[in-house]
Amino acid sequence: MYRYDAFDQRVVDERVAQFRDQTRRFLSGELTEDEFRPLRLQNGLYIQKFAPMLRVAIPYGLLSSRQLRMLAHIGRKYDKGYGHFTTRQNIQFNWPQLEEVPDILADLARVEMHAIQTSGNCVRNITSDHFAGAAGDEIVDPRPYNELVRQWSTFHPEFAYLPRKFKIAITGATTDRAAILVHDIGLQAVRSDRGDIGFRVIVGGGLGRTPIIGHVIREFLPRAEILNYLDAILRVYNRFGRRDNMYKARIKILVKEQTPKIFAQHVEAEWEHLHGGEATVPDEEIARLAAHFPPPRHDTLAGDDAGFRSAIADNRAFSNWVQRNVFPHKVPGYAIVTLSLKKTGVPPGDATSDQMDTVADLADAYSFGELTVSHEQNLIFTDVRQSQLLALWSELKGMGLATPNIGLLTDIVCCPGGDFCSLANAKSIPIAEAIQRRFDDLDYLHDLGELDLNISGCMNACGHHHVGHIGVLGVDKNGAEWYQVTIGGAQGEHAAIGKVIGPSFAAHEMPDVVARLLDAYVDHRYEGERFVDTVRRVGLDPFKERVYAAAH
Amino acid sequence: MPQLIKNGAVTEDRWTLLREVVAGSSLPAMPVIVPLATWLAAHGELRARGDVGVWLGPADDPALLGADASALPLIAVDFPKFADGRGYSIGRLLRERFFYTGELRAIGDIARDQLYFLHQVGFNAFMLRDGKDAQDALASLRDFSDGYQQTNRRTPWFRRSGVVGSASGAGSTP
């Protein structure tokens, strides 16, 4: 993975000193709350319901075991012994003391981590494919480009005060696991006819109050031009994005109001000035970054491991786990493993400090000392030998991290919601738990197959409810918490925004509502057809009828 | 009293900022900073005076200054709110696209924690809003010793880090 050099380290160390001084000035009264707010937000520090919340950046989700141990330490020393992995592949701590945040940042800096730009109206953490480097469908490993863009976005002086937050996702694969169509900018690696690497540029996607699928504004951007083009897009947005209404300030509204075609013309006109300039990325720099991501030293193996094959045949529980949580690797004899953070009764994405320490040890033992956080809020070991899967599974099971539910109904994506977040209209974690408790029959879950259920506690859509096959949105009705349900949303290359099925529900009704949606699906599905595909084929009516006929 | 930082030092301000100028009225006979519209209406005459600067609002297009940009003694950019970042792009455009080399002054809701970024995009003068100690604020110009991106004051780090064989220009330095 990318290791800081002296330059990178100095940038982060100087940030710690700067924020320590800003915090001192706030606590001494030199800075008012209004003045301190944008400063702390640019450093991931929110004031939440009960305490400040600190969001720590995990660039493109990639962590070393050493870094994970530091996160465990921070959870233990400054928080209540746990952390919450987010849909931006970050981690947040819900209970730190404001006075201690500079010390937390100093601890993070010791392991090449920070909280820079994890909130505020600036370029946020770059997200990417959680199978990067291991998937078989990669045109190019995206991580050198992720790091290039991370560095470009870190304290970019021109773009620190954008109209609104700005999210960039990059993938190097043909299958989109990074949700590039619902980002402010999505970059997808493509190869030209001549074999050159470049990027398809997608702009103006997003969730939140106005969910929109992004538009391709350039089919092929040479990789050397990536920073010039990003500068051009951001400059057009910074100058012309709306600032009069925070709900209309995201770039997607500008793209929509100008039309994608006109917006693209503005970007291209700006790029004309920047094209070939100083920020053009030299091949040597791309090579330097790529050298930080060498392929792990895999053993040369003939193919599938025989012991692994027989363990699948002999052990039903292991086999279930392999079927759901283990994915093919491009190297023979290796596998990609997802550690489920979706055990029933545990808020989705939460991990205790003890779990983090053990996961760090397991990463060292089984996967070259690295792991990736997925935007579905699970942890990934990308390079595990098949012959060691049984042993790894046993260890994970003992820690509650082997729930065989990846991609299933109970692998719920969920924001912290009203239990923690001051923006939320409604709680989300108890809804997730009630649904997980109701659907605890593994055979039924496997029979239902792939099903994304996403829950957000408010319009800001941190739980990505719009792109859930079933989406749940917390809404406020006269001070009471209600839940609006959408179906038919999807992420990936067939990304779609879910449609509302009708009036919203009380919290206690939600497990029944989901049950009726599933009944309708089971009645209408063709063999092997996923829930979302049935919705696309038959439309909303059969689902509405089932849900509302029973409810009213 | 608002306080002026210019070229890295707390400085007396000899300019008077005219937030509004009634169309057709005559300007006082002292160094003044006028709205863009005032300048555009009479730029031939005002340019001859030599002591008239222009201020731009965040929505103003710096391209409207045209060839005047390089001849002006002072251009100010207004930041009506701390969080309104449009002026950062205007600063870079004035320096890098319109080759403005004179005093580039940030006015409005300006406080010390913006100074580093403002300086990087080309501002060399900062009118701090009331009540802020300019001597303290000077330290913030040095919040960071360097950065990754190309700015008005430096080439991207990857052109200076030694990774590229032939150093392609050192860029403009203050």
Q: Looking at the structure, do residues B84 and B166 belong to the same domain, yes or no?
A: no
Q: Looking at the structure, do residues B134 and B173 belong to the same domain, yes or no?
A: no
Q: A interface toward B at CB cutoff 8 Å? A: 7, 10-11, 14-15, 18, 22, 35, 38-39, 121, 151-152, 154-163, 227, 235, 238-239, 243, 273, 277-279, 281-282, 284-285, 288
Q: Which of B83, B143, B156 sits opposite A14 (nearest CB)?
A: B143
Contact between A157 and B117 using a beta-carbon 8 Å cutoff: yes
Q: Looking at the structure, do residues A279 and A149 belong to the same domain, yes or no?
A: yes
Q: Are strands A62-64 and A334-339 parallel, antiparallel or unpaired?
A: unpaired
Structural domain for B153, as ranges: 147-174
pLDDT for res B70: 86
Q: Looking at the structure, do residues A104 and A131 belong to the same domain, yes or no?
A: no
Mean pLDDT of B146-171: 81
Contact between A239 and B89 using a beta-carbon 8 Å cutoff: yes
* Alpha helices, H only, A28-160: 33-41, 65-78, 101-110, 143-153
Q: Looking at the structure, do residues B171 and B119 belong to the same domain, yes or no?
A: no
pLDDT for res A273: 97
H helix and E strand count, chain A: 18, 21
Q: Looking at the structure, do residues B167 and B94 belong to the same domain, yes or no?
A: no
- The enclosing domain of B25 has a CATH number of 3.20.20.70
Contact between A273 and B97 using a beta-carbon 8 Å cutoff: yes
Contact between A279 and B149 using a beta-carbon 8 Å cutoff: yes
Q: How far is CA A318 from CA A56, A261, A290, A307, in A?
A: 34, 51, 36, 13
Q: Looking at the structure, do residues B57 and B135 belong to the same domain, yes or no?
A: yes
Q: Which of A68, A112, A73 is nearest to A370 (CA)?
A: A68
Structural domain for A42, as ranges: 6-110
Q: How far is CA B124 from CA A157, B110, B116, in A?
A: 14, 13, 10
Does residue A318 contact residue A386 with C-beta atoms inside 8 Å?
no
Residues of chain A with pLDDT under 50: none
Q: Name which of B46-50, B130-134, B166-170 the model is least confident about.
A: B166-170
B150 at A interface, C-beta within 8 A: yes
- Domain count along chain B: 2
Q: Looking at the structure, do residues A325 and A252 belong to the same domain, yes or no?
A: no
Whole-angstrom Cα distance, residue B48 to residue B31?
Answer: 13
Q: Looking at the structure, do residues B171 and B136 belong to the same domain, yes or no?
A: no
Does residue B129 contact residue B111 with C-beta atoms inside 8 Å?
yes
Q: Looking at the structure, do residues A353 and A441 belong to the same domain, yes or no?
A: no
- Domain count along chain A: 4
Query: In this structure, what DSSP letter does residue A205 have?
Result: -
In this structure, is residue A117 part of a structural domain? no
Q: Looking at the structure, do residues A247 and A338 belong to the same domain, yes or no?
A: no
Contact between B150 and A279 using a beta-carbon 8 Å cutoff: yes
Q: Which of A157, A239, A285 sits opposite B163 (nearest CB)?
A: A285
Angle between helices A251-258 and A226-240 (to 10 degrees): 80
pLDDT tens digits for A288-327?
A: 999 999 998 899 998 899 999 999 999 999 999 999 999 9
In this structure, is residue A514 part of a structural domain? yes
* Alpha helices, H only, B53-122: 86-92, 115-120
B168 at A interface, C-beta within 8 A: yes
Distance from the Cα of B165 to chain A's closest Cα (Å) equals 8
Q: Looking at the structure, do residues B43 and B7 belong to the same domain, yes or no?
A: yes
Q: Which of A15, A39, A281 sits opposite B113 (nearest CB)?
A: A39
| CA A422 to chain centroid | 21
pLDDT for res A550: 64
Q: Which of A473, A480, A122 is nearest to B85 (CA)?
A: A122
B34 at A interface, C-beta within 8 A: no
Distance from the Cα of B166 to chain A's closest Cα (Å) equals 11
Contact between B145 and A10 using a beta-carbon 8 Å cutoff: yes
Q: Looking at the structure, do residues A65 and A190 belong to the same domain, yes or no?
A: no
In this structure, is residue A444 part of a structural domain? yes
**Which pTM value belongs to this model?**
0.94
Q: What is the ipTM of this complex?
A: 0.94
Contact between A161 and B146 using a beta-carbon 8 Å cutoff: no
Which residue of chain B has the CA closest to A161?
B85
Q: Which of A200, A197, A271, A262 is nearest to A234 (CA)?
A: A271
Whole-angstrom Cα distance, residue B113 to residue A26?
Answer: 12
* Alpha helices, H only, A111-225: 143-153
Boundary residue ending a domain (A290, A321, A355): A290
B97 at A interface, C-beta within 8 A: yes
* Residues whose CB is less than 8 angstroms from the CB of residue A506 and which lie 6 or more positions away in sequence, other chains included: A480, A481, A482, A483
Q: Looking at the structure, do residues B7 and B27 belong to the same domain, yes or no?
A: yes
Q: Which of A10, A22, A273 sits opposite B113 (nearest CB)?
A: A22
B145 at A interface, C-beta within 8 A: yes
Q: Which of A141, A140, A138, A223 is nearest to A174 (CA)?
A: A138
- The enclosing domain of A431 has a CATH number of 3.30.413.10
Q: Looking at the structure, do residues B154 and B97 belong to the same domain, yes or no?
A: no
Q: Looking at the structure, do residues B54 and B82 belong to the same domain, yes or no?
A: yes
Q: Looking at the structure, do residues B62 and B133 belong to the same domain, yes or no?
A: yes
Rg (CA), chain B: 17
Does residue A474 contact residue A417 with C-beta atoms inside 8 Å?
yes
Q: Looking at the structure, do residues A332 and A387 belong to the same domain, yes or no?
A: yes
pLDDT band (50, 70, 90) for residue B38: very high
- The enclosing domain of A338 has a CATH number of 3.90.480.20
Q: Looking at the structure, do residues B23 and B98 belong to the same domain, yes or no?
A: yes
Whole-angstrom Cα distance, residue A136 to residue A173?
Answer: 8
pLDDT band (50, 70, 90) for residue B167: very low
Contacts of A157 in chain B (CB under 8 A): 88, 116-118, 120-121, 147, 149, 151
Give the tokens for residue A291: 């050298």
Q: Looking at the structure, do residues A255 and A329 belong to the same domain, yes or no?
A: no
pLDDT for res A34: 87
B31 at A interface, C-beta within 8 A: no
Distance from the Cα of B155 to chain A's closest Cα (Å) equals 6
In this structure, is residue A517 part of a structural domain? yes
Contact between A278 and B85 using a beta-carbon 8 Å cutoff: no
Q: Looking at the structure, do residues A278 and A318 belong to the same domain, yes or no?
A: no
Q: Looking at the structure, do residues A21 and A153 belong to the same domain, yes or no?
A: no
| Inter-chain Cβ pairs, chain A and chain B, closer than 8 A | 101
